[in-house]
Structure 1
Amino acid sequence: MTEWGNLVLFNNEGAIVWQSFDYPTNTLLVGQRLYEDQKLFSSSSNLWAPGLYFATLKLATGFATYIRGKGQPQMYYQLVPDQTSTTNRGPYYAELQQGGSDGHLKIFYHSNANRWREIVDMVTHDLGECQHPHHCGEYGLCRKSQCSWPIGIDWVRYFGQTQSQNGKRRQQTRLQIPYMGCSRITSFSCPRPFDQKHYLVEVRNVSYFNLIDKDAAFPNISDIDRCREICLLNCSCGAVFFRSNNNVSDGYCYIPSTVLTIREGPIPNHSFASATFFKVQIPYKAANGQVEGTVPDTSPPTSLSRNRRNLKAIITSSCAGALLIFVVTIVTCFVMLRPSCSEDGEDCMKQVPGTLMTFSY
């Protein structure tokens, strides 16, 4: 066993035949290297199973961390090393943690006085707390490290925070746990019922952590309209993300199998633009015109909504005034063009149907 924790086996000639540093787990110790295509897995409650997160080193992408799940692993951090720099062989080590559920990548420093001391959480330091995939869970919106639910441009609330049921004797309590994420208020059916509709609602000023990985984009799709169409045609698609350099006809389409934390605003240190669309299911409308299963928006009215109401009032008043002028014009014309009656009233009597005719002698 070396000073830094490397278990080494030698043969009779003193050559190394096996060493633990060649098989990293969730920690890179001082002097330990991560070679290309090797993986550093986070810890797990099952000692014999890899954790939810892993880090790997590839020549094309550099050092990157991913979260595993349904379908393709999703990258949430990337570090391209400087080929001209030299390695600092000081008393440091790196650890990929699954503490809580966020997959933090931390650097520690060892000293005789303080022993191991945390230096930096690399993902949080470079990209912010909202870059961690499970910080707000599935479909959760991360805003300044706080969790909420996404709201579309139609201001209809389609999601609510997922609640956990905890039973204590006979009393039931409901706990809201941020990293458990959000779920749809209106259930999402797949395949879609014939009498209901799936459509995409846009959520603006948000981005998705996996957009930093161009290799994760849907192949051969570079147009935003085609990207949306692919999601609508795929019943299991719950959301679609589009990355571009402000050109919606030349970008990258992302359709993740599992949609995790969405973050408000752009991703730090990245200059691309993005668009986000969630698929929702619209059932029959209720008697009051509100979509069943949704919650009315209680946010204060925006200037746009106030302008729309003012415009409706102006249009209604104008139509009522025009109708009144039209009625007055018709009545006036009828009075002016009506034949006049003689003084004795005979001509007027002739105009009344069913009256007896009079004859003069």
Structure 2
Amino acid sequence: MVVSGRRDDSPVPRNATLLLNSEGRLVLQSTQGQDTNIAEISSPGSSASMLDSGNFVLYSSDKEIIWQSFDYPTDTLLPTQRLLAEQELFSSISETDHSTGKFRLKMQQDGNLVQYPTETSDTAAYSYWSSATNGWGANVTLNLDVDGRLYLLNSSNFNTENLTEGYNATRGIIYLAKLDSDGILRLYSYNTRQDRASTVVWESSKNKCDPKGVCGFNSFCVLNDQKPECRCLPGYSFVNQGNWTSGCERNFTAESCSKKNGSVKYMIQPLENTRWEDLPYFVLSETTKEDCQQACLVDCNCEAALF
């Protein structure tokens, strides 16, 4: 498991050095002498330490913590770390590319913990999972204990919701919560003694097709032996054959409305038992399947119909 900082920056050179310089700033120094500031601090740092919790902290001369990595989560929460109100976890692009991916988990001001695609607004239409705890007020936090208990806590330290009940706090076992690249939040049990093996002990969804947008534009997700598989709509092909989450594009040339003089023939191909996120521009009332199909065929602007 990897916790990344500055994840969308260029890769760090092999010969770069993390340095607490003479000015008390924590910087990443390259052999070219270029310093990249790592921590925004109001006063000079005196020392830095990697704690057993996984928190990297910067201290003042008075031994006060003036900066800590736990305040800047990426896709992972470690034990004793919190996700504050209005903070978010962002998934990685893939298991090997830790740049910002397609999904986010937000601790909202209304007390609700919600999963969305990255480039969307915080509205129910885009949500694909939530803790259903809206209305608990501001300043609710998501917390992870050392025993694997993942829970929500309000500003009065009242436990509003247990996402997991917790497990045995065994020596050598570390629990961590991660928003994976497939858009699902999972709690892992990580064994530091036995080949560093990890086990999923809880996940926000069992259906890997639940995350909205997992397959990209003009494609849809189906489960094949419980594994997600993206397929293109009829008349479309994958944009990138080596990446089935990249979406699909037309494999035919669409005629403009001005050229449709009756000689252009289209047909509708059905996709049954498919759930669509639907925002129609026109709704027919009391219609049959055949009438719905015909209404789309004679409408130059209609590209899909949902019955």
Higher helix fraction: Structure 1 or Structure 2?
Answer: 1
Q: Looking at both structures, which has the greater relative contact order when contacts are Cα pairs under 8 Å and sequence separation is at least 6? A: 1
Calculate the TM-score normalised by the size of structure 1.
0.43
Calculate the TM-score normalised by the size of structure 2.
0.50
